[in-house]
Amino acid sequence: MTTLEVAPPHVKVGPLGWLRKNLFSTWYNVLLTLLAAWALVALLRPGINWAFQEARWGAIRANLTLFMVGQYPRDQLWRIWLSIYLLMGLIGISWAIWKKAVRDFGIIILVLSAAFSTITLLMSSNTGMKWILATVILLASYFTGGILRGRPRIAWVAWVLYFPIVLLLIAGSRLIPFLPTVDMGLWGGLLLTLVLTVVGNLGALPLGILLALGRRSNLPAIRLFCIGYIELVRGVPLITILYMAAILLQIFLPPGLRLNLVIRAMVGFILFEAAYQAENVRGGLQSIPRGQFEAAQAVGLNGTLTMILVILPQALRAVIPALLNSFISLFKDTSLVSIIGLFDLLRVGRSVLAQSEWLGTHREVFLFAFIVYWGFNLVFSLGSHRIEEALGVGKR
């Protein structure tokens, strides 16, 4: 019996096998891999060189406060720090209560906070101690939050109350002696971006739910109005809505009533985002099987009670992924307020570019803005994934 001469088999396991399978499997894959590798090196090497040697990052370092809070009075910055500490405390408590769901998010915030602490300490900036305090508060609230483990409702209430309290903290009020009002025109930078995002989303959601319900209404007058509003707002760019809010709102209000430009921008964002949220909620409403409506009717609930008690909780649960996506995209869209004259992160960047000391630092400033936006969106995306998983969306 002759034995066949068989060549030894190709390596399929280990790093060599992985290389073979994923990078060099066929001749055109070999070509593509080599081309991509060459392109990467050709682009990255001068880029990294530039970033570490030629780039003038002093433009960022000197104007960091401007980037973060705009023209906010420097002696009132303790209120911003208080908001950050409250947030750290809340995240720590949430982590202690809902361990697994918040774990990845909590770890990322912890790492970021520690990173900021080390960076600011190394740069011997005076915010080093403040970031260390933030990290300590996060860890302390995580370890002591265990006492609340059986009562998540307290955490929910705390989260819901957080946003109005922080807004009050930042804006101040004439009624509170130790919180003098800070004119909204002074808000700027990342602070303004975050405030616009949160207010825009939170304000748009109720309006969006109303519009979605109105679109499904049996009454033709209401239905036509809602459809008309939604299609009109979705068909025009955001910048025209902002322009309208900045210019036309002044004309539509009674003479003598002047609204701050920031409030006008908020109204614009709320009106714009409400149409998109309405479409999301409509998708959720459409996914509710008819059996739910019929069962509610059989139990004796009228239309309104059915909506509030039976349909909306299920529908809103189903559209949470879309809502979180809207949050992320609104965060990016707030950059448009630089066109109507508000000093958000991007506009601050352009004003830094206009400073005579830092002429020509386009790439540094834009890269910084890139990293800030991208980092925040990454953290938001991760948070939204965890929230979806914790709520079991799509699984039950």
Binding site for another protein (CB under 8 A): 22-23, 25, 29, 32-33, 36-37, 40, 218-222, 225, 232, 234-240, 243-244, 247-248, 250-255, 328, 332-333, 335-336, 338-339, 346, 362-363, 366, 369-370, 373-374, 377-378, 381
Backbone angles phi, psi at 288, to 5 degrees: -80, 125
Q: Looking at beta carbons only, is 13 or 219 nearer to another protein?
A: 219
Q: Looking at beta carbons only, is 250 or 314 nearer to another protein?
A: 250
Which of 340, 202, 204 minimizes the C-alpha distance to 271? Answer: 204
* Polymer length of the chain: 396
Distance, CA of 25 to CA of 38 (rounded, Å): 18
Q: Provide, rounded to whole angstroms, the least separation between the CB of residue 381 and another protein.
A: 8
> Is 371 exposed, middle or buried (CB count within 10 Å of its CB: 0-12, 13-18, 19+)?
exposed
- 316 and 280 in contact (C-beta within 8 Å)? no
Q: Looking at beta carbons only, is 88 or 279 nearer to another protein?
A: 279
Q: Provide, rounded to whole angstroms, the least separation between the CB of residue 26 and another protein.
A: 9
Q: Which two tokens stand for residue 151?
A: 């009562």
Q: Provide, rounded to whole angstroms, the least separation between the CB of residue 62 and another protein.
A: 20
Q: Provide, rounded to whole angstroms, the least separation between the CB of residue 247 and another protein.
A: 5
List % helix, strand, coil for the chain (3-state, nearest 5).
80, 0, 20
> Is 375 exposed, middle or buried (CB count within 10 Å of its CB: 0-12, 13-18, 19+)?
exposed
Q: Looking at beta carbons only, is 171 or 238 nearer to another protein?
A: 238
Distance, CA of 353 to CA of 342 (rounded, Å): 16
Q: Looking at beta carbons only, is 32 or 299 nearer to another protein?
A: 32
Q: Provide, rounded to whole angstroms, the least separation between the CB of residue 353 and another protein.
A: 8
Contacting residues for 218 by C-beta, under 8 A, at least 6 apart: none
Q: Looking at beta carbons only, is 135 or 384 nearer to another protein?
A: 384
Q: Provide, rounded to whole angstroms, the least separation between the CB of residue 17 and another protein.
A: 13
Q: Looking at beta carbons only, is 177 or 235 nearer to another protein?
A: 235
Which of 250, 334, 80, 335 minimizes the C-alpha distance to 182? Answer: 80
Q: Provide, rounded to whole angstroms, the least separation between the CB of residue 40 and another protein.
A: 8
